[in-house]
Structure 1
């Protein structure tokens, strides 16, 4: 589309070099030429974007020998002719599961050496890659990733629309989203689609939804699965050593970790850890709560891009909680809906259903007005989350001694919630359920500044990074000791000075900024506080931290 502007610039530039005596005559010819060139540009754009893909699809379906596929001399490899070029042939191969029609079905790997071919590893359904999968273009190296996400929504839908209309019951479904992750980011990505659609088909039960949220590492054929099993995370906590994926056999294991390398009959190496044993496969859920005017499709694009850039492990299952967030002209109504008892009941029911499905740990991520949804629901957290015992040894054993799951972390990203109620009321409730509370704020967030004006200039949490300590009563060093009980359990990350992959409004950039993406998943996976993420964060004052990053204009 940029060529529409380019032709205008070219035509204007030519007229500048024409003398006044011939400018009128040249203008007529330039206008005719400009119209012709713009018409050709429109035709080429429509052909490439719409006609060409449909033409190839129709021809390949109608004529089975359209691609002239022939076996190659190497096993499991084939060749095909190039599109509309009868002489040249390209190699491709597929290894993996197939269906009765010999189409890719299940986990498999496709490789094509065509100029625009790709190498794709992941899940297929009747010949179509539907995700999860990882893909890389053969020549350019551009990389793409597709992830599956479960969702629950109380919005009447459909998937692409947001409104204030409520569904008669809480709806459950599954979707997937394909995102660019490296190289050139394509303008039509992220692209979300529904796999189990409760708006059209039927309302699916939670167990069906959970089974459909598959990860590439869930397949034994995946090479990444075996590679990640050779990684051991050891965290030095206040209670002692903590190993991800293991449970201690006795209290002495918290003080010392002894690892021995062993070799099996197939000459494969593995390790044994004395005093520790593998814990049952964990079921942890990351629940994303979007802001207002955000359809389920838009929430998938936001959260999906964040997941693909963060590369979460297979034991973390992503979910989106949708609520009737309305539209841009209904901001005040959206605030009332977000804090309504109906939305709170839906959120609590969603957590209860996931708990019934076997999830023992939860991580909440809320963006913008989604913070109001979580804050309003926190008064009922005692119904769905465990209270923190002050003499606990490690969070890894909490779910094994109580029927309620653990709220492992809660993360606010540019939260559109009133500052004073959060500091005076909600924090005291939330800290009874988790000690990992993180707020990412930006003092130049235009969307939150606008919301502040609509609230009668009452301070908003996400755009008042410096005001959080004051709201706790700790505005200066002398009063710091009075608020240490709260400050030590709230990490504030100031993103005001970040300017990489951040748009002008500075509100919905969290899913593209690699500093924030890596930091969020760092705290979720390792559960390290901000003070322990010193390789990325610098303590500015009190409980406020900033990223170690140079501004975009600084180059060498």
Structure 2
């Protein structure tokens, strides 16, 4: 029986106990399982091989494609070549059967080996029987080489046999950090393992396992780097975590919670990543004082934000000058063009002293004899704080709301959004929130479009916005992908000629020089930006009224599109057929412009060159840019009468981009480093 008490400290004369405790073995086993996942699942690859005029494209996990190629390509090819080379030998009676038997035996052995290595062995080493009866200590010959413990952290180092047992050198793994009452890593800690597939992981631990946020780098190889992030989700659908319903519904109350996502961010990208899991259980929004806003504030315990700044990041862009984490005091906005200089005050803290607690010759501590100058005190040096004149610290971080596209279930949406957050530094500056709506399945595409504009979906999005405002989160950024833009347009669609309830929660669009909010609108939210990624929305209604409904609340709108987007091509075709058959479509997608007969319905993400209105339509002049340069262009066009006016938005055309773009050219934004930068 293995003793579960921690080994004595290194300072003890007896030295550390070479037997690892059960807790140490469990930590080693959990981290070893992470290594097995990386080794067995492999990296994401897209290979093309030609065999007998058949092109095989590997789109699945690497481990399945390996056994596929061995069984259908390599072994048959090897058997065929062997038959040609040794044709004289196999020409005797029954000689050809030997090759057939060899091929069958080799393929059966390959499949059995694949099943054992990928399924039976991982189940074996993670089973309760293995941990109790066989024990990892005996299996890997684990031995504790160092152990120390103090009030702040616990450190232990374990030596173990590698893949080839005693035939190869032994490896070392080490943990240093906080532990819980049971002796398991819990809190901030660092793990290092010097084997090729080992990793150096620094971040948060929970009950012996790494839990986001953390950052990890594989010890050997190409410097593969992994990041774990935490996201807040607002589930406004009746779907499950792992799948969507064929007939989408959202009759039940929305649920909220926090999720953890681990992603590859550098080097080789692992095929089993990103991987999402829920932290705790889903809770009905607003039940037991749990709201989407409170979930956001719970993320602050993992951030390093402090009240007094120790460093400042000052940035100058076309919008003006900004100081990270600060608002310009005059306008209340994060950037300004008014300042000619920025003055930073250095506030030195008052010196603090603490008693050294020296002992005198009698062995008693000297607590002072009334003479303060003679008392043994040590000065504590603290870093000075930085304060920017004319700027104030932001009370809270802004929220970044992501609305995924069609046929996206919660797990998939979390992994997609988490990959985008992990590839950037957004997690440090915003509260990342996923709004999951009823996205249906492939064959119910049109139902998903209708559900995006349903009354329940609009009410749920309003509940999300109000939940953020109730916790004092005032600045909002919104990102949509594909059909997710229809949820956004439905939420901001005018009701009987007046702004929608969601639009009424926001103040007017902030300008570069105007005040933060007008008098009487101090309780309104501020929509800092709206980004539409490959938007699946018809062009005509977007120009007629859709753009105006979001432009009135945000002055920074960006459309990211691709003229070769294949998914939006099929969307144009399918919607054109449904419209020709006079099937109903959601009200935000209705247009005053009707065309006779069948036609492709142009989508915003594929026809980004059409983001303009015809000259002379004065009713829409309010949505045009009003800079001095564009005013001159507008005046020139009035005399010309033929020049179009571009909408007041930014367009990013990714048509010519070949980096990290899949065949559909529709949903590779979350791993495209060029676009994310």
Moved more, 244-253 or 318-327: 244-253
Partner SS for 1:166:
coil
Q: State TM-score, norm by structure 1.
A: 0.81
Map 1:50-449 to 2 at 5 A: 50-58=119-127, 59-60=130-131, 62=133, 63=135, 65-66=137-138, 68-72=142-146, 76-82=155-161, 85=165, 88-140=169-221, 141-163=223-245, 164-198=248-282, 204-213=290-299, 216-218=302-304, 230-235=311-316, 241-248=321-328, 254-259=339-344, 272-379=386-493, 380=500, 381-388=502-509, 392-393=513-514, 402-449=522-569
Name whichever of 423-432 and 87-96 sits farther off.
Answer: 87-96
Q: How far did residue 17 of structure 1 move?
A: 7.0
| Partners of 2:402 and 2:479 within 8 A in 1 | yes
SS in 2 for 1:489: coil
Cα 1:423–1:196, aligned 2, differ >3 Å: closer, same or farther? farther
Structure 1 residue 6: Cα displacement = 4.0
SS at match of 2:252: strand
The question of whether the paired residues in 1 share the 8 Å contact of 2:485 and 2:536 is answered with yes
Q: Which residue of structure 2 lines up, in the alignment, with residue 2 of structure 1?
A: 65
1:336 CA drift (Å): 0.8
Q: 1:360 to 1:30 in 2, by over 3 A?
A: farther
Change (3 A) 1:502 1:472: farther
Call closer, same or farther: CA 1:463–1:274 in 2, change over 3 Å. Answer: closer
1:531 paired residue number: none
Paired residues of 1:235 and 1:243 also in contact (CA < 8 A) = no
Please state whether the residue corresponding to 1:462 is helix, strand or coil: coil
Partner of 1:177: helix, strand, or coil?
strand
Larger radius of gyration: 2
Q: How many residues are matched? A: 509
**Shift, 1:439, TM fit:** 0.4
SS in 2 for 1:298: helix
TM-score, scaled to structure 2:
0.68
Deviations 1:154-185 (A, max 9, x none): 21132111121324111112111111111111
Hey, what's the Cα distance between the residues in 1 that align with 2:509 and 2:560? 24
Say which SS state the counterpart of residue 611 (structure 2) adopts: helix
What secondary structure, in the 3-state scheme, does the structure 2 residue paired with 1:291 have? coil
Cα distance in 2 between the residues matched to 1:81 and 1:445 = 51
Return 5+ residue gaps in structure 1 as ranges.
Answer: 519-556
Q: Secondary structure at the match of 1:168?
A: coil
Distance 1:494 1:488 in 2: 15
Q: Is the 8 A contact 2:310 2:383 kept in 1?
A: no
Q: Please, which runs of 5 or more residues in structure 2 have no aligned partner?
A: 1-63, 150-154, 332-336, 352-379, 494-499, 577-599, 618-632
Report the alpha carbon displacement of residue 263 of structure 1 after superposing the two structures with TM.
6.9
CA 101–33 in structure 1, closer or farther in 2 if over 3 Å, else same:
same
Please show how residues 412-491 of structure 1 align to structure 2 within 5 Å: 412-456=532-576, 457-469=600-612, 481=637, 487=646, 489-491=648-650
Give, in whole Å, the separation in 1 of the partners of 2:519 and 2:394.
12
Report SS of the residue matched to 1:198.
strand
Task: Give how far 1:393 is off.
Answer: 4.2
Shift of 1:18: 4.4
Question: Is the CA contact (8 Å cut-off) linking 1:154 and 1:167 kept in structure 2?
Answer: no
C-alpha deviation, 1:418, in angstroms: 0.7
CA distance in 1, matches of 2:615, 2:214: 46
Shift of 1:277: 4.5
Cα offsets for 1:459-501 (capped at 9, x unmatched): 1111102222367889xx8998569997362111111111111
Deviation at 1:73, TM superposition (A): 7.7
Separation in structure 1 between the aligned mates of residue 449 and residue 115 of structure 2, nearest angstrom: 41
Mapped partners of 2:348, 2:215: distance in 1: 31
CA distance in 2, matches of 1:188, 1:439: 31
Deviation at 1:431, TM superposition (A): 1.1
Q: What displacement does 1:97 show?
A: 1.9
Take 2:388 and 2:273, find their aligned partners in 1: how far apart are those partners? 47
- Over 3 Å counting, the alpha-carbon distance change for 1:157 and 1:210 in structure 2 is same
SS across alignment from 1:156: coil
Aligned to 1:461, what secondary structure does the other structure show? coil
Instruction: Report deviation, 1:91.
Output: 2.5
- The offset of 1:14, in angstroms, is 5.0
Q: Distance in 1 between matches of 2:173 and 2:184?
A: 14
Tell me if structure 1 keeps the 8 A contact 2:634–2:645: no
Deviation at 1:186, TM superposition (A): 0.9
Aligned pairs (5 A) from 1:26-65: 28-58=97-127, 59-60=130-131, 62=133, 63=135, 65=137
Partners of 1:189 and 1:365 lie apart in 2 by 23
Bigger Cα displacement from structure 2, 178-187 vs 384-393: 384-393
Task: State the distance in 1 between where 2:459 and 2:412 align.
Answer: 23
Partner residue of 1:12? 77
SS at match of 1:350: helix
CA distance in 2 between partners of 1:415 and 1:246 (Å): 32
Q: Give, in whole Å, the separation in 1 of the partners of 2:616 and 2:663.
A: 32
